[in-house]
A and B are shown apart, each in its own frame.
Chain A
Amino acid sequence: MSLSPVEGVALAEIESDPDASTTAARGVVGRSPGQLAWLRLRGDRTAVVSGVLLVFFMVLGLAAPLIEMLYGVGPREQFQNLLDGNGMPLGYAGGVTGDHWFGLEPGLGRDIFVRLIYGLRTSLFIALAAALITATIGVTLGTLAGYLGGWLDAVVNWITDLTLAMPFLIIALALTPAITLRFYGERGQVSSAFGVGVLIAVFAIFGWTSTARLVRGQVIALREREFVEAAKASGAGLGHMLFRQLLPNIWAPILVSFSLAVPQFITSEAALSFIGVGLSDETPSFGRMIYDSLDYLQTDPAYVFFPGVMIFALVFAFNLFGDALRDALDPKSSR
């Protein structure tokens, strides 16, 4: 944690961070809580493995166009000549060959591997964007509500309670087409970027409340502490109070909730696409692929296998990493 004594405000936070030079003289290395957490995280085998896996997935998603170039097959290309008369892929395990690593989709004959890579890109983009937006809204409103109290607190609290009472999947299911209809009308060709945007917006509207609730609770606990009082007594403004005094003390739970929110959004996106309201067929998506594969469970079991395992691996890695992060940031937790 860096110290930045600005605007001549009392340096109340110094007490939590012993001067490194004096401790070093005694032969002890001074480490900030952040460094300690980082060391613990690096020493945790699960954290390292899942972290590496996550980086790998993100690189795959980012490099999707590059992979498409190297692999030589596009996500919308159809290989009807490799299907038999009933539209089933020729060969074993759903048409797995050297050219098509994970086989072909029955019916349209599109390459599953390249669609999965693009699905990963969509899924990660939506989940990360939604998590970032919800974290920003949630942290801002949560700190303000917790610190200021009064009517703002009451309103934020009420909205939080209300969204808890709204069945998310059903509302999102009904809301997504309604929003699309509002902007596109009945016959308009919905662009895939717009579909992605609507999903992120729906997640943001309903997702921020849990972060806000968490942050609000933490801020209320901190509000009565001496260092806050000291800063207030020396005339700190609202911005300084929120960003220099309160936020540095609660970044650990925020980080954990962020890292555990991402897999939830991945799951929700896949679920909505599975129901068929998320993204159009043009945009590759895990949920959509699994939904399509249900018709071929008897004839082409490999079709459901690849997207199913892929999304499991992604969510699993995120969950493991989130847990490891929590352990590293809060060694006392007995989860």
Chain B
Amino acid sequence: MARFLLKRLFSATLTLFAVSVLTFLMFFALPRDPVSSICSKNCNPERLERVRDDLGLNDPLISQYAGYMKGIVTGRDLGSAQGGRCDAPCLGWSYVTNEAVSDTIARVLPVTLSIVIPAAILWLLLGVGLGMISALRRGTWLDRAAIGFSLTGASLQLYFVGAVLLMVFVYNLRLLPVPSYTSVFENPAKWASGLALAWVSLAFLFSAIYARLSRAQMLETLSEDFVRTARAKGLAKPTVYGRHALRAAITPVVTIAGLDVGGALGGTVITETTFGIQGLGRTAVDAVRSGDLPTIMATVLIAAVFVVLANVLVDLLYAVIDPRVRLR
């Protein structure tokens, strides 16, 4: 198990390294002049040149990259214009917000976590539950309703569902406040009521996909020999379905779930834009609009870290659920 874990961690590090090089090249080498967008209006050439120098854009690309990476691992000294010393996970200085990028990220990351984690729990419970029920009650009205739900949900757009929910629950019925973020440690009730719509709309769309997937998986598993054997030797239905079949059917669901949660943690761009909540995704959008390179770079990197970590986690879960994986 330890060797398996080490191997996975090694390849994950390699992937992250490649992603960081690629994003670095994309955002610092691709634009003709990365600085011009930072102060596009009333910007004199001297200031432009100074900003360029502060950001180290006049150095060769490799030393720029090395400096950036060194900043993440050990921290580094930026010029006095960029707030001086920048501590360990240093992601640079943003000229747009006049703030260290790591501070911005530290502020918005809890927001995205508060949206994604409850939503993920909701959509997994709802989706897998619905899929299981419709597989076990195959052909009944319940099954047909679940299929209809998942087909419709998979074709709906998050922003449209979000807009309709906003219209109904916030503006017409006035049951919920306008979505906003409050720390859960400060006021849990306000936290929940402010984010409930985001959870529901995310969970609605995702559970549609999961219901469909887990229904198909469960149907396939139910027709396998080992399920019949378990029934034939006299095990009760709940034991067979709940322990034997579920465990076999759930593995592909785990993969997709890992990728989805990882992707969502990297920035629920659409959700945050629809509900006007300032999380990681919204920050990325704002950074792109204002051409805030260090922040763009940081959000992309963090999103990638989440996806890669989720992948490792999925592999570990696999090894726990299905012991055969460990042997490979």
Residues of A at the B interface (CB closer than 8 Å) are 161-162, 164-171, 173-175, 177-179, 181-182, 185-187, 263, 267, 270-271, 274-277, 287, 290-291, 293-294, 297-298, 301, 304, 308, 311-312, 315-316, 319-320, 334-335
Q: Does B77 contact A (CB under 8 A)?
A: no
A-B pairs with lowest CB-CB distance, top 9: A308-B160, A167-B303, A316-B155, A167-B266, A315-B155, A181-B31, A298-B171, A178-B30, A170-B303
Question: Contacts of A293 on B, CB cut-off 8 Å?
Answer: 163
Please report which residues of chain B, range 96-123, place their CB below 8 angstroms from some CB of chain A when the two chains form the complex.
none
Q: What is the minimal beta-carbon distance from A327 to any residue of chain B, in angstroms? A: 12
Contact among B32, B274, B296 with A294 in the assembled complex (CB-CB below 8 Å): B274
**Segment of B51-59, B86-94, B245-253, B283-291 in the binding face:** B283-291
Q: Does B192 contact A (CB under 8 A)?
A: no
Question: Contacts of B220 on A, CB cut-off 8 Å?
Answer: 334
- B270 in contact with A165 (CB, 8 Å): no
Contacts known (A308-B160, A308-B163); A169 close to B267, Cβ less than 8 A:
yes
Question: Contacts of A290 on B, CB cut-off 8 Å?
Answer: 157, 159-160, 163
User: 12 A-B Cβ contacts within 8 A?
Assistant: A165-B311, A166-B19, A170-B281, A174-B26, A187-B40, A271-B157, A275-B285, A290-B160, A293-B163, A294-B274, A312-B157, A315-B155
- A271 in contact with B270 (CB, 8 Å): yes
Q: Does B10 contact A (CB under 8 A)?
A: no
Question: Contacts of B15 on A, CB cut-off 8 Å?
Answer: 161-162, 165
- A276 in contact with B267 (CB, 8 Å): no
**Best-surrounded residue of A177, A179, A293 (most CB of chain B within 10 A):** A177
- A170 in contact with B27 (CB, 8 Å): no
- B300 in contact with A263 (CB, 8 Å): no
Residues of B at the A interface (CB closer than 8 Å) are 15-16, 18-19, 22-23, 26-27, 30-32, 36-37, 40, 151-152, 154-157, 159-160, 163-164, 166-167, 171, 212, 216, 219-220, 223, 259, 263, 266-267, 269-270, 273-274, 281, 284-285, 288-289, 291, 296, 299-300, 303-304, 306-308, 311
- B267 in contact with A170 (CB, 8 Å): yes
Chain B minimum-CB-distance residue to A185: B32
Question: Contacts of B285 on A, CB cut-off 8 Å?
Answer: 173, 275-277
- A275 in contact with B269 (CB, 8 Å): yes
What 4 additional pairs, Cβ within 8 angstroms, besides A170-B284, A271-B269, A293-B163? A167-B267, A169-B270, A186-B37, A275-B285
Question: Contacts of B152 on A, CB cut-off 8 Å?
Answer: 316
- B167 in contact with A297 (CB, 8 Å): yes
- B18 in contact with A162 (CB, 8 Å): yes
Contact among B19, B269, B288 with A177 in the assembled complex (CB-CB below 8 Å): B288
How far is A319 from B154 in the complex, measured between Cα atoms in Å? Answer: 8
Contact among B31, B36, B151, B273 with A320 in the assembled complex (CB-CB below 8 Å): B151
How far is A165 from B258 in the complex, measured between Cα atoms in Å? Answer: 12
How far is A182 from B23 in the complex, measured between Cα atoms in Å? Answer: 16
- A312 in contact with B30 (CB, 8 Å): no
- A297 in contact with B155 (CB, 8 Å): no
Chain A minimum-CB-distance residue to B274: A294
- B31 in contact with A182 (CB, 8 Å): yes
**Best-surrounded residue of B155, B284, B304 (most CB of chain A within 10 A):** B155
**Best-surrounded residue of A170, A179, A275 (most CB of chain B within 10 A):** A170
Contacts known (A315-B155, A320-B151, A334-B220); A169 close to B269, Cβ less than 8 A:
yes
How far is A170 from B32 in the complex, measured between Cα atoms in Å? Answer: 21
**Best-surrounded residue of B23, B159, B220 (most CB of chain A within 10 A):** B159
How far is A178 from B31 in the complex, measured between Cα atoms in Å? Answer: 5
Question: Contacts of B37 on A, CB cut-off 8 Å?
Answer: 181, 186
- A182 in contact with B307 (CB, 8 Å): no
Contact among B40, B284, B291 with A173 in the assembled complex (CB-CB below 8 Å): B284
Question: Contacts of A311 on B, CB cut-off 8 Å?
Answer: 157, 160
- A174 in contact with B36 (CB, 8 Å): no
Question: Contacts of B26 on A, CB cut-off 8 Å?
Answer: 171, 174-175, 178
Chain A minimum-CB-distance residue to B268: A169
How far is A301 from B281 in the complex, measured between Cα atoms in Å? Answer: 26
Q: What is the minimal beta-carbon distance from B173 to any residue of chain A, in angstroms? A: 13
Contact among B31, B171, B219, B304 with A334 in the assembled complex (CB-CB below 8 Å): B219
Chain A minimum-CB-distance residue to B162: A294
- A274 in contact with B273 (CB, 8 Å): yes
Question: Contacts of A162 on B, CB cut-off 8 Å?
Answer: 15, 18-19, 22
Question: Contacts of B156 on A, CB cut-off 8 Å?
Answer: 312
Chain B minimum-CB-distance residue to A271: B270
Question: Contacts of B30 on A, CB cut-off 8 Å?
Answer: 175, 178-179, 181-182
Question: Contacts of B308 on A, CB cut-off 8 Å?
Answer: 165
- A166 in contact with B304 (CB, 8 Å): yes
How far is A180 from B109 in the complex, measured between Cα atoms in Å? Answer: 29
Chain B minimum-CB-distance residue to A171: B300
Question: Contacts of A316 on B, CB cut-off 8 Å?
Answer: 151-152, 155
Q: What is the minimal beta-carbon distance from B27 to any residue of chain A, in angstroms? A: 6
Contacts known (A294-B163, A301-B167); A165 close to B288, Cβ less than 8 A:
no
Question: Contacts of A161 on B, CB cut-off 8 Å?
Answer: 15
Q: What is the minimal beta-carbon distance from B118 to any residue of chain A, in angstroms? A: 21
How far is A167 from B156 in the complex, measured between Cα atoms in Å? Answer: 21
